[in-house]
Amino acid sequence: MAEKHIVPNLRGTAIGKGIIIANTFVGVGRTTPWEDEENPPAPSSTDTTLEELIIYKRPNRLTFVTNDDNGEITILGGKYRALTLEEARDLQAQQVLIQTTFSTADFGGPADYRQIGVFTYVVPTAGNESKSILLPSEIEDPGLIIHLTNRSPYYCYANHGETINLLIAF
């Protein structure tokens, strides 16, 4: 019996929806200096976690986006517009914005970090399921890493914070 198959282009949109609903957190780690602080090593495709995890934080914004010259979101000079799930389906969207802001309040004081990771399917320990910030001891399963950045250190001190905008394409 002959068969013919097709995989619809919506598979990208399905991946994006998975990121949005899969208990996604942004983690920061690595307090130890790199050998060359201005030239951190490239992450490896076999890395599955952050070194010296400090905290995981739920994104402030997690949404499908599309390129739009009149969009309200700017990332690396590009303009984007947030989409509803229905718009994402119609446009077969293949980009998700993950936006997280870190401040000293999140760390309980000053902190410095050199790694950023995005993790899906995170399982907090019992009693911590609704928390927006998780300490390492409050994570039962760190989830699956979908993005990792090694970078020069960011020093988060009083009156300073950092908004991280990550555009995940699939």
Contact partners, residue 52, CB within 8 Å, separation at least 6: 29, 30, 31, 32
Q: Is the pLDDT of residue 25 over 80?
A: yes
| Closest among 87, 122, 117, 70 to 13, alpha carbons compared | 87
Please report, rounded to a whole number, the percentage of residues in the chain having pLDDT higher than 70.
Answer: 94
List the one residue out of 23, 170, 167 whose CA is nearest residue 82.
Answer: 167
Which residue in the block uniquely carries the two structure tokens 């250190």? 153
Q: What is the pLDDT of residue 159?
A: 79
Confidence band, pLDDT 50/70/90 cuts, at residue 10: low
pLDDT tens, position by position, 81-139: 999 999 998 998 899 999 999 999 999 999 999 999 999 999 999 999 999 999 999 99
User: Does position 17 have pLDDT exceeding 80, yes or no?
Assistant: yes
34 has pLDDT over 60: yes
With 80 as the cut, is the pLDDT of residue 8 above it? no
Amino acid (one-letter) located at 152: S
- pLDDT for the residue numbered 6: 53
pLDDT above 90 for 72: yes
Q: What is the mean pLDDT of residues 135-154?
A: 96
What integer pLDDT is reported at residue 13 of this predicted model? 78
Which range is least confidently modeled, 6-20, 32-46, 50-64, 129-143? Answer: 6-20
Q: What is the pLDDT of residue 7?
A: 53
- Supply the mean pLDDT for the chain: 91
pLDDT over threshold 80, residue 2: no
Q: How far apart are CA 10 and CA 93, in angstroms?
A: 8
Closest to 158 in 3D by CA, of 108, 104, 107: 104
